[in-house]
């Protein structure tokens, strides 16, 4: 029984392995600093394994096609790498505004004013939560430090 190479299964295996490693690493953190990373790593591991099990059980049928509005995996991966580079260079806040705006545009939303408002508002909410709720310092980037 030969199966065609399925990149989705390979990516799910990678996410499962990476989140399992990150979860194991959090046990060496101080207890107060480990709570949030443990929660995120556990949730990622759980859903990766859940989706992987369903994918392996069901397989890829003939009727599978790209979902409406979904990005190809390579565009998502490249945009995330660019986002990480922008965080390093420009800081988190400008990188988030650009990433959210880009993602909204790529997914087909064409009203630029509303997309900009959504990007700025989402960034403000996420950055505020990081700064005041989670007490995480916001990276300023090389250009602004």
Q: Where are the beta strands (DSSP E) in the chain?
A: none
Would you give the DSSP letter of residue 134?
Answer: S
pLDDT per residue, tens digit, the chain (145 aa), is 445 557 788 888 888 999 999 989 988 888 877 888 888 889 999 988 998 888 888 765 544 555 565 667 778 888 889 999 999 999 999 999 999 998 888 888 888 899 899 999 999 999 998 888 888 888 888 887 7
Find tokens 């199966």 and name the residue: 3
Task: Report the C-alpha gap between 49 and 30 in whole angstroms.
Answer: 27
**SS3 category, 65:** coil
- Read off the pTM: 0.59
**SS3 category, 60:** coil
Residue 54, CB half-sphere, CA atoms under 13 Å: how many?
Answer: 6
């Amino acid at each position: 029984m030969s199966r065609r190479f399925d990149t989705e299964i390979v990516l799910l295996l990678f996410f499962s392995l990476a989140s399992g490693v990150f979860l194991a690493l959090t046990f060496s953190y101080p207890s107060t600093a480990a709570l949030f990373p443990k929660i995120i790593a556990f949730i990622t591991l759980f859903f990766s394994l859940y989706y992987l099990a369903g994918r392996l059980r069901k397989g890829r049928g003939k009727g599978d096609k790209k979902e409406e509005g979904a990005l190809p995996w390579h565009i998502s991966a490249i945009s995330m790498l660019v986002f990480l580079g922008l965080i390093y260079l420009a800081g988190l806040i400008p990188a988030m505004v650009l990433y959210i705006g880009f993602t909204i545009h790529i997914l087909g939303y064409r009203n630029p004013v509303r997309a900009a408002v959504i990007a700025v508002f989402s960034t403000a909410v996420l950055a505020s939560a990081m700064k005041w709720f989670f007490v995480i310092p916001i990276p300023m980037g090389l250009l602004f430090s």
